[in-house]
Amino acid sequence: MKKICSLICLLLASAAVFGQQEKWIPLFDGKTTAGWHTYGKKGVGRSWAVDEQSFHLLPTGLDGYQTRDGGDLVTDEEFTNFELTLEWKISKGGNSGIIFYVHEAPQYKETWNTGIETQVLDIVSNEDSKSFKHDIADIYDLIPGTSHPGKPYGEWNKVRIKSDQGKLDIFLNDVLVIHTVLWDDHWRSLIAQSKFKDMPGFGTFKKGRIALQDHGAEVWYRHIMLRKL
């Protein structure tokens, strides 16, 4: 009887692990832009290419601070509680960002009018790497990371973002750099002291799209996986 119980327990544990693994879904198939579009548009800007199983932004000229015929990529689907993993690399001096809880609506012209950004940049050459709350993996203009274990331009960095019931953890290269709570009084006070203070929708939405930012620099994103919590 004990052997039978042990076998049943083992099978149940294996099923639980397998089920947990099955929850991870690819947001990017490594071949096409399926599941994504340019913010505020139906398709994907031509400056976004898919090569070497990566989204690759190729800046051919600027339109304001962004690439001509580029724009921020956003998921077609919206997410509430989730865990997201991906890898990115940036060009020399480059700047980009991973933005989440983006609410796409005509009154919001930019993804960052509503969404929360974790900073992507070249830690060697970009001036924001020397700016408080604007460094790599910081919650842009709101919360500095406890450390900045980034790799230089041209090398892949790994990011994991876990947002569950308002509790937010961000890991850079397997190091926990942000641990905070969203949408409480402290969060609202941080917004009130930031560049977003006059954006009434910023940081308020509890469901939204995930965005990869076009900040006018060449950047790559790959291995984009998510599980719903």
Q: What pLDDT is attached to residue 26?
A: 98
Question: Greater confidence, 168 or 3?
Answer: 168
Mean pLDDT of the chain: 92
For residue 49, list its beta bridge partners.
56
Q: What pLDDT is attached to residue 129?
A: 86
Q: How far apart are CA 202 and CA 225, in angstroms?
A: 25
What are the φ/ψ torsions at residue 87 (nearest 5 degrees)? Answer: -125, 150
Q: SS3 of 98, please?
A: strand
Q: What pLDDT is attached to residue 47?
A: 97
pLDDT category, 21, cuts 50, 70, 90? low
The 10s digit of each residue's pLDDT in 60-99 is: 899 999 999 999 999 999 999 999 999 999 999 999 999 9
Q: What is the CATH number of domain 26-228?
A: 2.60.120.560
What are the φ/ψ torsions at residue 190 (nearest 5 degrees)? Answer: -65, -45
* Count of C-beta atoms within a 10 Å radius of residue 31: 9
Q: Quick one: which of 90, 104, 94 has its CA closest to 40?
A: 104
Q: What pLDDT is attached to residue 16?
A: 47
E strand or H helix at 158: strand 157-164
pLDDT category, 2, cuts 50, 70, 90? very low
Q: What pLDDT is attached to residue 7?
A: 40
What are the φ/ψ torsions at residue 221 (nearest 5 degrees)? Answer: -135, 140
Structure tokens at 89: 């690399």
The 10s digit of each residue's pLDDT in 128-180 is: 988 999 999 999 999 999 999 999 999 999 999 999 999 999 999 999 999 99
Report domain extents, the chain.
26-228
Residue 11 Cα distances to 15, 20, 21, 23, 65, angstroms? 6, 14, 15, 18, 54
pTM of the model: 0.90
